[in-house]
Every structure is written in structure tokens, then in C-alpha cells.
Amino acid sequence: MENTEKKSWLKSWGVLILTLFLLWIFAFIVGPWGEQNIPVFSSIVEVIERDNIDSTAYMYTEIEGSYTGEKDLLGSLKLKMPEETGFNLTFISGIAACIALLCLGYKFLPMK
Amino acid sequence: MSDNSEIVQDVGKWEWSEMWKKEDWWAIWLGFIILLAGVVIYFPQSGELKQELSQIEAKYQAEAQKTDEFKTIGWYKLNDAKSGVKAKSSKIGKWLSNFTHKPHGWSTNPLDAFYKSESKAQAQQQQAAGRYEAAKATTANQYQEALQAEKKAEAAGFENETLNEQAKAEILDWRNAKMAESKAKKKLSSAKPYNQIYSLLGLGVFFAVFFGIGMKCMGKSFKEFLGAFTFIYALTVLAWVFSYQDTMKHYGIGYAAWAIFLGMLISNTVGTPKWSKPAIQTEFYIKTGLVLLGATILFEKIITIGTAGIFVAWVVTPTVWLITYWFGQKIVKMPSKRLNATICSDMSVCGVSAAIATASACKAKKEELTLSVGLSLVFTSIMMILMPIVIHAFFPEDKVMVLGGAWMGGTIDATGAVAAAGAFLGEKALYVAATIKMIQNVLIGVMAFFVAIYFTTKVEAEETGQKIGLIEIWYRFPKFVLGFILASVVFSLFYSSFGAAQDGLGSTMIDQGVIKGMSDLFRKWFFTLSFVSIGLATNFRELKHHFKGGKPLILYVFGQTFNLTLTLIAAYVVFYIIFPDITAAI
């Protein structure tokens, strides 16, 4: 009984340590190799480092490009086509289409 | 989400004591305490900042509006100056940012995540200073060239096409040089010594007390929670350390993946310690984080690229969601509607954040969320690398930036990966991709509300065999969704009213104040705490059971293929056939 417990304890810790070791191999050997050898990836990595992009971010608020992009694009539109900015009829029809789609989905989505 | 196998837990009755006994309500209270603190800290500065913005406008407005042929130097100066006005730049804002700072980036030595010595910082500063000075000199030269070109175009009354084009090109070169300079400056200012250990300890104590009070009020032991929380918090910090290692950062393997992975690794090998269980409060952390997320869902953001953007993001996304859900039910025959809905959201809306919101809104099981997040993270890394390759290889040169950007923004799940892939194609592609993603991010609220209503009134009604009336909807509705929506509505109104008072004030006070200076600082920590908890409570065997027959993978691959196809067609039709003028303008 004691032997089985000891074996199971050793196995658990063994798997844990092995997994951490595999991670270490990925972080310092396999991963960097991929960065160099997957086509285009090395250039993407260069951009991530050069522009200090948090490529692990999940929301727009975590990325500076969202804010600069927003200001730049909105500014361009306001300068050249002010009539295309704001809540005009075409824009509202886009939102209405979204709501209409969801209403249709609510009514007709299959229950089974 | 339910922590155990029961799906429907709500009892069909209402008691006022729920408001201080149930975690949905406590998530709302705690979330709003943080948001309120942000309001109290930043809003009193609004008068001063409004004045600053109006002074900037007075200084540069005339220069900025010299012509509508192209964006002049004055236009950029006006924008730069306005962007520099941030509520979070106050003393307390900087203190908060330092206090809640995650472990730093590191390459080979994990200690660099917590500590950087004076001498190391000095060596980095010297290196960075050289680059910054060189970049500054280039910018100064480019500025002179741009100025000369603009003057020539102005002398011709901005009516000479060739001179206008020359000025535009010189100004663009100056902007690129300026951007390189600002990045070099950022590197220089980030090369500072730091000791993150004390603030991480302090933050841990703060979180333990913050959530501990809620736990106590819900009838749990405060003391047991405090002890257990140290373990969860330590793993949370570790997840951040892993995610900021250089290789992991390059592959886009973020904190959510590490938090779940580390939790699962422990629970499935040496086992989750029993004493840590009182702090494994997945739903409590996640719902509080979601209320904070609500404040970032600002409706005014959707007007950024006008009509074109709304059609690509807000018409394609629900279409993909509904068709994929139908496919999951009818063709793949997903055994769980909740897993189906969660995968649909994370694939069609915006990955992890949408998956969290949907899983909570439909009360999915923790394994279902884990599976959805896992699928999203794997495909995000693949798409981040493959999509720019495909765009470069097959897109006509003149469509790489706008069409390529819109395609990636509408399909890659996580914003960070969208930005990395967009920046690789070019600045305009980054702007279009990040903006489409931002407009799609706003849909999280709409989709979560839709899912909550659909599951409460239809799916639960079918499961319980009871017809659900209006009052029953209230009983069963996941209440934290109300907090999430309320936060979104309130901060959207704040944003608009600040913007109406002074152009740019909405962004200064909300984006660069309460959101980035408060809500965001805490939200990511809360989500990481919840993902660690999910991992610690997840069993590989349970996960395997959900993956039976590869159905979730089939669903995801079908949905993403459909998403890629429809988004590409919609982006082409909208940007090049219906609204070509908008495309030309941006």
C-alpha cells in the first residue's frame, strides 16, 4: 500500500517536472528555432519587438494601435468626407441589420 | 458558469437578500467600487484637461484645416498634442499603474520579471539613448523636408496635384520617422530600474481583502479564504511571468493560456491542495472582471470607419455566429448548447473576452470555457502567422492594406495578434485591422445580452419543461450581465458627454482615464485569477469527455472557415464596391 502511494507520488511529481522541462525546451530551443525558420514569422517577431506590441493582448484597450488607428481613420474621414461620419441613415441601417439578424436567430435557432 | 455538473442553479424566486448574499451581485458591487474609484480619481481633472485641449485646438486648428486635400503637418500636430493629454498621467494615475503592474518582460533570466538593478538599467539606457538621439535627428531632417514640400503645395493654393502628392509623401516620411523616434523614446524611458516584488505583495494583500470581504458577506470564512488566496495569487503571478517571456510573447501565448495550463498541470499531477479550495472562486473573479470589461464597451467607438466598418464587423459577425450555432446543433450535433454558443462567440466575436462573457451569460461549465479558450488560442497563433503570408502572396498590391487589414481584424480572435499581423503588413493595415477589431469588441455586450436572453427564455425553459414568464426571466437572468451592460451604458454616456463638451475630452477622460488608468489595471488580474481557478478545478478526463469525436474542433474549423470567407467577401464588397470613397479617404 505504502509502495503504491510512493509510486503514485513519484509519478505525479515526475510528470510535473517533465512538463516544466518540455516548456523550457520550447521557450529556449524549439520556439526560437521556429521564429527563425517559419517563413515570415521572423519578420513578425521583429515588428513585435520594434513596435513593442503586446501580442498576447485580448482587448482593444490593451493595444496602442487601436487608439492611434481610431484617431487617424476618423480624422481622415472627418477631413475628406464629414458626411460619412456619425450616426447617419446608412450607418443606423447597419446596426438595425445586426439587431434584425439576432431577432431572426432568436426565433429560428434550432432547439435540438 | 457553473462550477459543478449542475447547469441550472437559479431558484425561481426573488429575495432581496440575494443582493448581498449572491456572487452575481457582489461582482456588480465590487466592479462598480473600482469604477467609482476611477471616476472619483480622474473626473475632477476634467475642467483642467478640457482647458488644455481647447488651448491646443486654438493653437493648431487653423493650421490643421488649411486644406482637405491631405493631412497637413498642422493636422498631425493637433492630433499628437491632443493624444498627449491623458487623465491617467496624473500622479495618482502613475502610482496606480505602478502598483498594479504585472511582472516585466524577460528573455533568459526569470528574475528580470521582478527586479532590474541600477547598473543594468544604466547600460540599457546608454544603448537606448544612442538610438533615440539618432531617431530624433532623422525626424528633425524629415520635418524640414515635409515643411518645405507643404509650403510649396500651399503656395499653389493646394490645387497642383503633383505638389500635393509630393507634400503628402514627405509628410508620410516625417510621420514614419516620428513614429520610430517615439518608439525609441519609449524604449529609453522603459529602461529604468525596478523592484516589482513589494508592489506584487501589496497587490496580493489588497486583492485578498477585496474579495475576502465579499466572501465573508456571502457567509464564507474570511480567514480560510485569505490563506487559500495566497496559492491562487502566486500561480496568477507565475502565469504572467510565463506569458511575458520573449518566446511566449512572440507566439502570442498569453496569460489566459498560462493560467489555465498551470492550474491544470497542478490539479492533474500533484493535485490541487485542499486548503486552497476556498479561494477557487472562478465565477466571482470572472464576473467582477466582466463588470469592469463592460466599461470598455463604448458605443461611440463603432462610428470610427463609418458605415463600411459597421457592415464588416456588425453584420458579418452575428451572421457567422448564428450559422455556426445552427451548424453545431443540426450537423455536428454538439452535445452541449452552452459549449456550442461559447465556441461560436470566441470564434466569431473576439476570442477570450467574448468566450468569457458568453460562457458566463449562458452558465456554461468551466471545462466548456477552457475548451473554447484553448481552441481560440491555438488558432489565433496559427492565423497570426499564416494570414499575412496569404495576403502578401495572393492580394493585389493596392488591396493589401485596407482589404487585408479588414480581413484580419474581422477574423483573428485576439486583438494583440491582430495588431502584430497588421503591423507586419504596414501602418494602415494595422489601423484598419485594429479598428475593425475594436468595433467588433463592442459586440461582446450585444452578444452576451442576446445569449443571456436566449438561454434564459428558451434553452432553460426547454430543459426545465416550464414556460417562462416575464418575472421568471428576472429570477433566472444572470444578474451580473446587468452590471456589465449598466457599466457599458454609463461609460458610453460619459464618453459622449465629455466629447460633446470638448472634442477629444471623451478619450482623455474615459479611454485614457477610467479605462486604462483603472478598469484595465484590475480586469486582467481578475481574469487571470479566474483562469487559474478554472485550471485548478479542471480534470483532463472531463475535458476529454467534451472533446469526444472532435466535435468542438470540427465546429471551430467550420465556423472559422465560414468567417474567413464571408469576412473577405463582405470587406471587398463594402470597401471596394459600395463605399470606395471611404476606402480612398482612409
- The pLDDT tens digits for B135-164 are 999 999 999 999 999 999 999 999 999 999
More confident residue, A88 or B373: B373
Residue A35 and residue B247: Cβ atoms within 8 Å?
Answer: yes
B306/A58 touch (CB, cutoff 8 Å), yes or no? no
DSSP bridge pairs for B22: none
Cβ of A109 within 8 Å of Cβ of B329? The answer is yes
Q: For B548-573, write each residue's pLDDT tens digit.
A: 789 999 999 999 999 999 999 999 99
> Is pLDDT of B468 > 60?
yes
pLDDT for A2 equals 67
Are A55 and B434 an interchain contact pair (Cβ–Cβ within 8 Å)?
A: no
Question: A41 vs B269: CB contact, 8 Å cut-off?
Answer: no
Tell me the longest C-alpha to C-alpha distance in chain A. Answer: 80
Average pLDDT for B343-364: 91
Positions in chain A whose pLDDT score sits under 70: 1-2
Check residue B553 and give left, alpha or beta (phi > 0: left; psi -120 to 50: alpha): alpha
- The owner of cell 485580448 is A58
Q: How far is A77 from B482, CA to CA, in rounded Å?
A: 35
pLDDT, position B540: 81
CB crowding B386-408: b at 16 or more within 10 Å, else e: bbbbebeeebeeebbbbbbbbbb
Exposure string of B66-77, with b = 16+ CB inside 10 Å and e = fewer, is: bbebbbbbbbbe
Residues constituting chain A: 112
Mean pLDDT over each residue of chain B, to the nearest integer: 90
Confidence label for B346 from pLDDT (cuts 50, 70 and 90): very high
The ipTM, to two decimals, is 0.88
CB pairs under 8 A between A and B: 254
CB contact under 8 A, A40 and B515: no
Q: Does B248 touch chain A (CB under 8 A)?
A: yes
- Nearest Cα residue in chain B from A74: B304
- At B12, is the pLDDT very low, low, confident or very high (cuts 50, 70, 90)? low
B586: chain A residues, CB-CB within 8 Å? 73, 76-77
CA distance A1 to chain B (A): 18
* A105 CB neighbour count, 10 Å cutoff: 18
First CA to last CA distance, chain A: 49
CA pair distance A99, A93, nearest whole angstrom: 10
- pLDDT at site B68: 83
| A38 phi and psi angles, rounded to 5 deg | -80, 125
- The pLDDT score that the predictor gives to residue B7 is 41
Per-residue DSSP letter, A85: S
Record: contact A87-B303, CB cut-off 8 A: yes
B104 touches chain A (CB under 8 A): no
Q: What is the pLDDT of residue B269?
A: 93
Region B470-499: mean pLDDT is: 88
Chain A closest CA to B204's CA: distance in Å?
22
Q: pLDDT digit string (tens) for B200-209? A: 999 999 999 9
* Least confident range of A82-91, B368-377, B477-486: A82-91
pLDDT value for B8: 35
Chain A residue with the nearest C-alpha to that of B186: A52
Inform me whether the pLDDT recorded for B195 exceeds 80: yes
pLDDT exceeds cutoff 60 at B496: yes
What pLDDT sits at residue B10? 45
For residue A19, the chain B residues in CB contact (below 8 A) are 265, 269
Q: Nearest Cβ partner of B435 from A32, A54, A69?
A: A69
Probe site for chain B from A26, A28, A55, A98 (most B CB atoms < 10 A): A55
Q: What is the pLDDT of residues B203-256, one digit of tens each?
A: 999 999 999 999 999 999 999 999 999 999 999 999 999 999 999 999 888 899
Q: Searching chain A, which residue's CA lies closest to the CA of residue B463?
A: A111
As a residue count, chain B comes to 586
What is the pLDDT of chain A when averaged over all its residues? 87
Q: Residue B1: what pLDDT?
A: 57
- How close A3 comes to chain B (CA, Å)? 17
Q: Taking the domains of chain B in order of start, what are their residue ranges?
A: 24-38+244-270+280-585
A103, A95 in Cβ contact below 8 A? no
In chain B, the percentage of residues whose pLDDT exceeds 70 is 98
Interchain CB contact of B494 with A (< 8 Å): no
What is the spatial distance between Cα B239 and Cα B113, in angstroms, rounded to a whole number?
12
Tell me the one-letter amino acid at A14. Answer: G
Q: Is B251 an interface residue toward A (CB < 8 Å)?
A: yes
Contacts of A45 in chain B (CB under 8 A): 250
Rounded Cα distance between B310 and B366, Å, is 32
Share of chain B above pLDDT 90, in %: 69
Among the residue ranges B30-34, B359-363, B447-451, B541-545, the one predicted with the least confidence is B541-545
A67-A71-A74-A75 Cα dihedral, nearest 10 degrees: -170
Show residues of chain A in contact with B454, CB under 8 Å.
105-106, 109
Q: Is B352 on the interface with A (CB under 8 A)?
A: yes
Is residue B114's pLDDT more than 90? yes
Residue B6's pLDDT band (cuts 50, 70, 90)? very low
Q: Please list every residue in chain B whose beta carbon sits closer than 8 Å to the beta carbon of residue A26.
A: 247
Beta bridge partners of B2: B365
State the sign of the Cα–Cα–Cα–Cα dihedral B67, B71, B73, B79.
Answer: positive
- Closest CB from A41, A47, A52 relative to B385: A41
Residues of A in contact with B292 (CB under 8 A): none
